[in-house]
Amino acid sequence: MLSKKVLNDIVMPQLAESLVSATVGKWLKQPGDPVEQYEPICEVITDKVNAEIPSTLDGVMGELLVQEGEEIAVGTVICRIETEEAVASSESVSQAAESVQTTSVTSVDSGDAHRARYSPAVQTLAAEHGINLQAVPGTGLGGRVTRKDVLHYIENQGSKASASAAVQATPAVQPQVAPVQAVTVPGVIPTAPVSEPVRHSGLHLTETPRIPTIEVEGGRSEYLIDVTPIRNTIATRMRQSVSEIPHGWMMIEVDVTNLVQLRNKLKNEFKQKEGINLTYLAFVLKAVVGAIKDYPIMNSVWAVDKIIVKRDINLSLAVGTEDSVLTPVIKNADQKSIAGLARDIDDLASKVRAGKLKLDDMQGGTFTVNNTGSFGSILTQPIINYPQAAILTFESIVKRPVVINDMIAVRSMANLCLSLDHRILDGVICGRFMQRVKDNIEGFTLDTQVY
């Protein structure tokens, strides 16, 4: 059996229906490098997210036809991969009949080759959960590991870990603590002792903000920064939003004292159980979803001669990176519990930080929420995420003296700010919507369930 070398064209795939072009950001493989099927060969930059392009076959990287930083259309050949193709000699042809009888035997061994090939979805899922794919039983063709196999393996491992932890756990002896006498204010829920004091300032960053690393050029008195496709899209959408949408704005003040106590009560147990933080934003999203159900016009889009009201409530989250703001989407947020929303928030934020967002994560949003309080803001006037009808910001929680029943009490307070499309929405409906969000947030008690 002889073989010959064949050059195969690799083209720019269409990562989404609306995608017509992309920019090659970085080549991960150079000519002469061995390449395996599904292994990333380059990074591309689109107008929404960055993505990796996987190889479609095994071989050796050949010629690179596109330079880094070059924008190309979907379907353009970006590189070539060299593979070996078997060529039958006259002697091998005469032996073909004999090999037919052994096909059924050798086909069993070919399952190992199938099993060693993993799809990008399987590889991504395994990397996120730190799973060795060799240990995962495969149910696909030839024993190949599928995404369902990985999810089943994760579920079983989680069940085993929970059972092991339950066996090893020992009852803890709770120390006797003398009761604390609390001063009550008529009409106000008494403030219970909390395990962690509420911050007294707006600033509550969990880590030192990173400075963006950029390549610059220019003279001594100035420097130039190339506009990336994502930054160009942000500029286009913001200009379109401001020029087409007549923005209105309003703000409402919310007493979040009970919410702070509830979160302090649940956060440690939630962290141990779920492995993620229970943030205030999850509760705010639940309150917003409840208000949108009561006022569905908030979940709409302007269409010149009609207003389109969306039935699905898909919340866009404004997540900032060092050099851009992205708005990944929590799909069907109205069908999720507080715990479910917290998991989605953590998942999307992790994807943004790791640059792993997919185009599908960015599409379908109907209403945007921005947690501007995470970096200490107490008042913002956001620009609407075009073409949605409104955007709401949750500002920093601060302790302030508040007059309640002619008495002064120290309460944890936060501002909610709303920018609205005045073609669709007016002050009356938005005022009622904001009041409903306020009522929902202030309605959280120590008995509120997150599951």
Query: For position 118, which CATH number holds?
Result: 4.10.320.10
Inside any domain, residue 3: yes
pLDDT for 160: 61
Read off the pLDDT of residues 97-117 as tens digits, 9 standing for 90 and up: 454 444 444 344 444 544 555
Read off the pLDDT of residues 368-390 as tens digits, 9 standing for 90 and up: 999 999 889 999 999 999 999 99
Inside any domain, residue 32: yes
Our count of domains for the chain comes to 3
List the CATH number of the domain containing 52: 2.40.50.100
Of 41, 69, 97, which residue constitutes the final position of a domain? 97
Same domain, 367 and 433: yes
Of 50, 66, 97, which residue constitutes the final position of a domain? 97
Inside any domain, residue 211: no
**Higher-pLDDT residue of 426, 231:** 426
Inside any domain, residue 177: no
Inside any domain, residue 450: no
**pTM for the whole thing?**
0.63
Active-site residue flag, 422: yes
Same domain, 270 and 155: no
Inside any domain, residue 255: yes
Read off the pLDDT of residues 32-76 as tens digits, 9 standing for 90 and up: 999 988 888 998 887 767 778 888 888 999 999 998 888 888 889
Same domain, 119 and 261: no
Inside any domain, residue 224: yes
Q: Which of 112, 426, 439, 447 is catalytic?
A: 426
Name the pLDDT band for 399 (thresholds 50, 70, 90).
Answer: very high
pLDDT for 225: 81
Same domain, 248 and 366: yes
Range of the domain at 156: 110-162
List the CATH number of the domain containing 379: 3.30.559.10
**Whether the predicted pLDDT of 325 surpasses 80:** yes
Same domain, 151 and 33: no
Inside any domain, residue 204: no
Of 121, 141, 162, which residue constitutes the final position of a domain? 162
Same domain, 413 and 314: yes
Q: What are the strands of the beta sheet with 77-87, ordered from one edge?
A: 2-11, 77-87, 59-64, 34-35
Q: What is the 3-state secondary structure (H, E, C) of the chain?
A: CEEEEEEEEEECCCCCCCCCEEEEEEECCCCCCEECCCCEEEEEECCCCEEEEECCCCEEEEEECCCCCCEEECCCEEEEEEEEEEECCHHHHHCHHHHHCCHHHHHHHCHHHHHCCCCHHHHHHHHHHCCCHHHCCCCCHHHCCCHHHHHHHHHHHHHHHHHHHHHHCCCCCCCCCCCCCCCCCCCCCCCCCCCCCCCCCCCCCCCCCCCCCCCEECCCCCCEECCCHHHHHHHHHHHHHHHHCCEEEEEEEEECHHHHHHHHHHHHHHHHHHCCCCCHHHHHHHHHHHHHHHCHHHCEEECCCCEEECCCCCEEECEECCCCEECCEECCHHHCCHHHHHHHHHHHHHHHHHCCCCHHHHCCCCEEEECHHHHCCCCCCCCCCCCECEEEEECCCEEEEEEECCEEEEEEEEEEEEEEECCCCCHHHHHHHHHHHHHHHHCCCCCCCCC
Same domain, 248 and 336: yes
**Whether the predicted pLDDT of 266 surpasses 80:** yes
Q: What are the strands of the beta sheet with 71-73, ordered from one edge?
A: 50-54, 40-45, 21-27, 71-73
**Higher-pLDDT residue of 367, 232:** 367
**Whether the predicted pLDDT of 331 surpasses 80:** yes
Length of the chain as a residue count: 451
Same domain, 278 and 310: yes
pLDDT for 360: 84
Same domain, 315 and 383: yes
Q: Which of 149, 422, 439, 447 is catalytic?
A: 422
Active-site residue flag, 439: no
Which of 178-192, 283-297, 319-333 comes out lowest in average pLDDT?
Answer: 178-192
Same domain, 354 and 226: yes
Same domain, 278 and 371: yes
- Per-residue pLDDT averaged across 218-228, rounded? 77
Same domain, 421 and 337: yes
Amino acid, single-letter form, for residue 158: G
- Per-residue pLDDT averaged across 178-194, rounded? 46
Which residue matches tokens 């921005």? 370
**Whether the predicted pLDDT of 239 surpasses 90:** yes
pLDDT for 180: 40
